[in-house]
A and B are shown apart, each in its own frame.
Chain A
Amino acid sequence: MVVNDIGENRVNREGLKGWLNPTRYGWERVSYWFQRLTGIFLLVYFIGHVYETSSLTNGIDAWNAMLELTQTTGGHIFLILVIGASTFHSANGIRLIFVQSGKGLGKPGRPDYPYDPVSLNKTQRSGIWIALILSAVAMLYGANVLFE
């Protein structure tokens, strides 16, 4: 449905800037931002990973040469970021599955000043913090193993 015909000079859309700035709307927006960034990062990693493993078809030397890339300091840092991104994306994703199933949100009622929204409650904030802490712990463990 075409809802409105807007001339170019009137467009006032935030576009990508709208979600690239997570600082104005609380922790839920930060979580949304992290979820998107880690999702894009993991997609890029996944494509690279498929390319890396496909090098096995060119023989063992090609495979070893590709593995060498991950044995450098830069390669280790990249792998630590992959560990952190996948941990956060999974843990926060599980929270979002519950949220979108209507669990842990609270019930509608009669709003009272100062109108704290029940959907942005302690359960949600705790979920976000658990995802962040798990991610940090996984990255520390990964760094310990890789830089041993």
Chain B
Amino acid sequence: MGWKFNMSGKDNSGDHSGNDNNEEKIHKKELNGPKKTKSVESKSKFTDKTITLKIFRINQNNEKSNSHFDEYKVSSKRWTTVLDTLLDVKSYQDHSISLRYSCRMASCGSCGMKINGVPRLACYTKISDLISEDDPDPTITCEPLANFPYIKDLVTDFSQFFNHHRKIMPYIQNTKNDTIDSENLSEYVQSPEDLDKFLQFSYCIKCGLCYSSCPTVATDMNFPGPQALSQAYRYFIDTRDSANKTRFNIIDDRHGIWRCHFAGSCSHVCPKGVDPALGIQLLRSHLLGFNKNEKKIAKLREK
């Protein structure tokens, strides 16, 4: 399980370019005993550094304000995250910086932003994973998520994103087994295999990183995007749901699922392992009839 790494104090980084694997190896070595100290030592060699933080500034309510970058010098330790440095700057250097954050542990999906050009969660990305030890003047650039309208600085407007999410009806619909009017408490009967088919897609935290990285969304804002389409699959494959035709009619559109060309960027940046590209391809294979939908609607059992 993913949480066991945090139990040992390991900070999850959002850099998926290979450092995560290295850190996992280091962690496993830590668990295995003294042999691995060499790798651990090499990682701990990251000394405190002063970095330059470039922050994108814009205020869409102020017509006189032009977008630009402001630079700040911040000190960083091995475990410092990008969110830590942003809050450091906001607390001690420039109170006017706007950013959105909440849980600081990659659960709420609020602090998504483009860090060094790639959509990442600021709380899940360590400075030490982004810069080289040999770099005399390390610089980290923070920009608002692409494909989301600006509001102020790093804060973007998610209303369009959530409209797409809402449009695919992300909730269980089952007219035959209506639980609303039932006088008795009841539950659907599902096997662990049924659960595994949709569980990973239900881990979506709606951070918008996939939407920001998608090349189709970049050119077509009416495209629902990887998040909404993977959620369509999540409910499509759920044995409690019987609204497949309704959802198919929504996504089978000129701007719908057919505009996905499997660039895979959504899965590449997803911080929770949802793998939206997988959900979209599986949904499309069902829509095309390549995969038979053998879904049997779960029975309702009274408690």
Instruction: Identify the A interface with B (CB < 8 A).
Output: 1, 3-4, 6-7, 9-19, 24-26, 28-29, 32, 35-36, 96, 99-103, 105-106, 108-120, 124
- Taking the nearest CB of chain B, how far is it from the CB of A127, in angstroms? 11
Which chain B residues in 44-90 approach chain A with CB under 8 Å? 60, 63
8 further A-B contacts with Cβ under 8 Å, apart from A108-B199, A108-B275, A111-B272, are A10-B150, A10-B157, A18-B147, A28-B262, A108-B200, A110-B196, A111-B274, A124-B264
> Which residues of B have CB within 8 Å of A29?
215, 263-265, 268
Segment from B32-40, B179-187, B277-285 that makes contact with A: B277-285
B290–A108 CB distance below 8 A: no
**In-complex Cβ contact of B149 among A10, A19, A116 (8 A):** A10
**In-complex Cβ contact of B270 among A35, A36, A117 (8 A):** A117
> Which residues of A have CB within 8 Å of B1?
112
Residue of B nearest to A3 (CB): B163
B267 within 8 A of A: yes
> Which residues of A have CB within 8 Å of B24?
113-114
Instruction: Identify the B interface with A (CB < 8 A).
Output: 1-2, 5, 12, 16, 20-21, 23-24, 60, 63, 117-118, 144-151, 156-157, 159-160, 163-164, 167, 196-201, 203, 213-215, 217-219, 221-222, 261-265, 267-275, 277-279, 281-282, 284-286, 288, 290-291
A102–B290 CB distance below 8 A: yes
Most buried by A among B157, B201, B268: B268
**In-complex Cβ contact of A25 among B147, B157, B265, B274 (8 A):** B265
> Which residues of A have CB within 8 Å of B144?
12
Q: How far is the CA of A59 from the CA of B146 in the complex (A)?
A: 55
Residue of B nearest to A119 (CB): B278
- Taking the nearest CB of chain A, how far is it from the CB of B70, in angstroms? 18
A110–B199 CB distance below 8 A: yes
B267–A4 CB distance below 8 A: no
A4–B281 CB distance below 8 A: no
> Which residues of A have CB within 8 Å of B201?
108
Residue of B nearest to A102 (CB): B285
Q: How far is the CA of A128 from the CA of B201 in the complex (A)?
A: 26
Q: Chain A: interface secondary structure?
A: loop
The 4 closest A-B pairs by CB, nearest first: A18-B218, A111-B273, A102-B285, A28-B264
A13–B147 CB distance below 8 A: yes
> Which residues of B have CB within 8 Å of A124?
264
B149–A4 CB distance below 8 A: yes
Q: How far is the CA of A106 from the CA of B5 in the complex (A)?
A: 25
Residue of A nearest to B195 (CB): A110
> Which residues of A have CB within 8 Å of B275?
108, 111, 117-119
Q: How far is the CA of A1 from the CA of B221 in the complex (A)?
A: 11
Q: How far is the CA of A103 from the CA of B291 in the complex (A)?
A: 9
> Which residues of A have CB within 8 Å of B274?
111
> Which residues of A have CB within 8 Å of B16?
114-115
B290–A101 CB distance below 8 A: yes
Q: How far is the CA of A65 from the CA of B191 in the complex (A)?
A: 72
> Which residues of A have CB within 8 Å of B267?
117, 119-120
> Which residues of B have CB within 8 Å of A15?
218-219
A32–B262 CB distance below 8 A: yes
